[in-house]
Structure 1
């Protein structure tokens, strides 16, 4: 056995040390540049609707992580130190101001250069009143929603309207191209493909909900104001924009009257929040219950593997509940 081969020379040791220093420097440079060790743009999304956009448009050029794990209700998310560190090292952040207060604060304080608020890429509206009552265009006497800007109590659930979501997608494409200009052409191509899917989804909703027995639907989480406006429906929320808030006795009584008058057949609830209130109202009024997914996260219980599939499941549920012809 040649012992000398096991003992590195000074020159060899120096070369190894220099190599390690180079690798370390490269890693630090990549982190500072907002890229992973493979050179991909490190993107952080606040929750699923933002994650879907970055993955679809970013494609192979981005490495995406999400701050909200599947199955976690996003509104009350509290960030861990590791996630705060991810924000500081990110080359691109996409979030939606007004959905997650803790996330909004952490992103505002982060050192990332490219921080994009999806709410600034389209126009927000108020879908206010107790229970989140929202009228579509067919309402008697007309109903024009008050336009708003982020941070003043406007409804943030823009992703549930495929048209608005497509507007946001275009803004995401432009912002990704700014953060990573070398792949701008690919981002444009991917965004065009996604927009085509969203246009088709919009056409399906418009056709499927055009002729229905009733235009009114009741839901625990008043997340569907933009969808209602887009397709001429009336959303009647049991609670408000917060899925965990409880309705007043007066609101419950009002909903019972609305259900009878508008021939409502179904009370919708969501998979990430308690269905207790929905089932209680349904029992009191003799109505059925079903899931209308606000798409704040994809889990094993979701009726679809991604945004497009779950939205189509929502369409099927609405068609059934509203008596589509």
Structure 2
């Protein structure tokens, strides 16, 4: 299939900008969700040889967002496309079609990363929530960027190495919170993207919802979570900032718990503004902002590591 056939199926809003005149060319790398956009941004740096765009509009959740026809420039005008296999059907379809075009570098950030059967789902693909596995993803993206622009390989490799050092430091801070924690369990009352914390840090993530943003909790599932909270002395209910927080509010009211935010780095705005969490997310927030401004403070409080 030719690249032009992607126009209606894969056009999307880059970085949340509705301007149809965005200059997307062969020096542009399109990233398919906010975390990958930031990883790519860190690698291409500020030399302006290449530039990174996030195709997910500000305010949308990367996991359940699908491109709309003819929103802005079609993806096949770009020089590179960064995606994750098995994250969203449209991404896998786009990658398959774009690989037929020799002018576009298709970069699977998940290459070589083995998914695992988590307590929430089989073949759990949320590896980017683990700062250790993120380093492999960054290296994968760097390999693709180097293929696009081999003349600047040393620059891109240096940027990737520097960012991976930051990710390793973040891993240490996550581990420190767990080491100081009185609890080992959190309750997430929205889309559960956080089971890779179970594998890396032994944080038990309990959710009445599961991993699908469209799932809803049954009365029995809610009752089970309420009993678990009472049994383990859990005083906080967490929610995904990209999802509605009604269930979190209801569960918190029933258990006299406080509500805290978590971010899977899939959106650039708090989706539950009615909650007074003090979050002021910015459209250009990167991975570290999401963790240091939201995830680490919330985990420290919820796990009673203060």
Q: 1:37 to 1:278 in 2, by over 3 A?
A: closer
Q: Deviations over 1:86-121 (max 9, x none)?
A: 321221110112222223323322335311122224
Q: 1:322 aligns with which of 299, 303, 306?
A: 303
Q: 1:57 aligns with which of 43, 53, 56?
A: 43
Deviates more, 1:76-85 or 1:286-295: 76-85
Q: Deviations over 1:237-287 (max 9, x none)?
A: 121111231012221111111111111111101222110111111111221
Q: 2: CA distance between counterparts of 1:39 and 1:90? A: 5
Residue 191 of structure 1: aligned partner: 160
More helix by share: 1
Residue 33 of structure 1: aligned partner: none
Q: 1:114 aligns with which of 105, 128, 136?
A: 105
Aligned with 2:104: secondary structure?
Answer: coil
Aligned with 1:107: secondary structure?
Answer: helix
Residue 160 of structure 1: aligned partner: 129
Q: 1:40 to 1:190 in 2, by over 3 A?
A: farther
Q: 1:67 to 1:42 in 2, by over 3 A?
A: same
Q: 1:48 to 1:281 in 2, by over 3 A?
A: same
Q: 2: CA distance between counterparts of 1:314 and 1:289? A: 13
Compute the TM-score of the two structures, normalised by the length of structure 2.
0.81
* Unaligned residue ranges in structure 1 (runs of 5+): 1-35, 134-152
Deviates more, 1:262-271 or 1:103-112: 103-112
- Aligned CA-pair RMSD: 2.3
Compute the TM-score of the two structures, normalised by the length of structure 1.
0.76
Residue 140 of structure 1: aligned partner: none
| 2:24 and 2:77 in contact (8 A); partners too | no
Residue 100 of structure 1: aligned partner: 88
Residue 15 of structure 1: aligned partner: none
Q: 2: CA distance between counterparts of 1:97 and 1:324? A: 35
Q: 1: CA distance between counterparts of 2:32 and 2:25? A: 22
Aligned with 1:124: secondary structure?
Answer: coil
Q: Deviations over 1:42-61 (max 9, x none)?
A: 21100101100111001232
Q: 2: CA distance between counterparts of 1:271 and 1:190? A: 29
* Unaligned residue ranges in structure 2 (runs of 5+): 1-21, 271-278
Residue 137 of structure 1: aligned partner: none
Q: 1:244 aligns with which of 210, 214, 235?
A: 214
Q: 1: CA distance between counterparts of 2:66 and 2:143? A: 30
Aligned with 1:235: secondary structure?
Answer: strand
Q: 2: CA distance between counterparts of 1:249 and 1:77? A: 28
Residue 74 of structure 1: aligned partner: 62
Aligned length: 268
In our comparison, the structure showing a higher alpha carbon Rg is: 1
| 2:110 and 2:140 in contact (8 A); partners too | no
| 1:45 and 1:51 in contact (8 A); partners too | yes
Residue 221 (str. 1) matches residue 191 (str. 2): yes
